[in-house]
Chains A and B, each alone.
Chain A
């Protein structure tokens, strides 16, 4: 090791970090420098080594011998959670680790301790919590149960808890895809928080899949690919296109595949649909069409796909599909009508995480021969579908679903419904939390399905995605359609404008 030791004000410096798992090199000689007050974005596909890197920083994994790290010039032992914490490293994982039923005060106290030791006074505790949050976001109601907070507010509470104790002003805050579960409209609030944290002198490592966020927030960007750092540079030196190129390792001309022209026949007609959030929703969906549903959180956008699939109850309205009028819906009936629902919560709603890919694939339609469920036949059928949608790894059929990457999980669920002969695919946030490459694969699979006559509904908080993927987009406000965009008028700006205008008006 000829490397000189970094200076005392250098922040976090890592050199030559490697990690080998049995049969797999996850990280190969990766370096990273984080200066105080800097917001550095870390990008990479699933499997690029991002999560391994973060886990080593957090002390979950021990790195291979040879890697070195310093915090403000003092050597830092990697692979020890205690050492990482002592050095001022704080982590916000995607699972925020908050207890939904407890209020903000208790959640903040859980991370550290209560103000008092023997007698807990609600007023003292609330005051302490308010003081803690004042700097970050004073608008949060500290007495509200965490379950009633918005997604952004929950993240802010988690950050407040992580930074509690004051160490972190000179420390490092690692945010692992904090916006993955956040509606687009709420990201601004989180970004203000991140900037405020950085302004105090804390170095921020911001892990994300969303390119647009990098340009909005970061001042430096690093990209990992196949366990190596392939790029670190100031933000000014990259463009979105060049970033994507570094992430996937080759230029991406076909990022958004051309959508096929939709047919004339109406595949599905919704009239006066009512649910908890939807009030009198009307729209028609054509054969082979990709229809986007836009709207801010609470506009009813997130209830369209589940309502069509009978996942949530209707309080009124009707749906016409295949010449039949339906007045109520449950999941089994929806499947029978050829409506498939792909929820955004893949872990809990899309699939059984502990089941194998094969079992998940065949679950809605189990085919028997003489009353016998043949595992070999299922396997052969599953292999065919996985091959068609290029699911990785190639022998995925007998793997546990939860071990697949997000994009591949989504493809398995897509294959499941295509196997059932779905005529309508209703997707809620289909690319949330998946990387750039997997996104492209999902888009390709959707356009391919549309080309074959399947109608697709995509509810998404990502305007860019809707504008480029869909033939037509309807914008919701207060559970009703307020705008319809198509052709030349269908742009990300127009969608955002309509959705926000709707928000301002309401």
Chain B
């Protein structure tokens, strides 16, 4: 299939999706090529999805983590590009979430120290927040104040810091999908199963022909938002200047939602970070607590997302050390997330046109990608204008998007009304998360074609039983709606079909 487009965005993760949404307000043709059958597979889905401003307790924590690189370096540099992007991204987020119907919560963060060494770390953290000038947000708490705030926290706490402003948390798929829905509503083409394997440069860099196994896409510009694979994509067009991608991974453990009752006030409890080490337990927007801890473990293999038993143990130990009151039986799932950094400056993003390839824009974003996303998108549009692209607003641009109704969260009256309008909302498919057939059908109408696509859009199968009951049923609904045999319904693309053979085979 041949396509012509003004701008080709490679990668449909949070960065690609945000850029697509930003550019969709202008009168240019935008196409997104995503290698998977549905949007976002790698960093986006396993992200924390924190959105925090530059001057915030959460950012101070990440600055301490960074000091592993250079213990002498000055940690707080208010004017660094990264901090500016964080600030701008944070400022853009709330109004965007309003327009795109993205559920989010303020990230109320408590950092607790349980021994003398951690108290040192806590003091260091406090100094940074003082430097940041956010005394009105960050409070120093004594043990009694901590236990009043969070009665279930480790009783051996010696001191803590608390902040409730300047940071927010979303469920990662909610944010990514909202961007994609809105971009598509405004005319962006999304190509799935479209792994770009070849980029041909024509007209001395004025035109690119990108090939995937099924498409040939001619474009004037390419925006490389391929995340973990940004290096590979840049290499295809000889557009990687002086950077490489390095990867780190760590495992997270999700707990049953019944553990959410252990949190009283806050939704994140951290230990004071040491250089290169972190531990925390966080309550997700949709109610599942999860534990994260460890170091960022370097890896070569981009797909090495296996879990390990020592990391299971480590996570549970740290989680219990912070909050406690749960056991191994409360684990519902676990996964390993991979994070990409660039080697030029691990602390910074790369958002620039390639020196070699003037119409090829690299957007290699480090964490926190969700924080940066809206600001990065805005900056990309500015860079395009700087390249002489005329960005005129579309007359029919629609800045609003409505999410799939979440039956579970509606009031009784709203539930009743919804079932009256569409009886499919009366049929509960996923019992653990109370997800109805109506929500699943709506997800399919909006482009979900895989089991994960349904999971991420509706949360069907993400609860306590992990698809034990609803798994087979979701596969059948997908097969019925897409008019495919069940043996063609995959978890995340070809080769991952859950049922290999139909009864008729």
Is B a genuine binding partner of A?
A: no
Could you tell me which B residues sit within 8 Å of A by CB distance? none
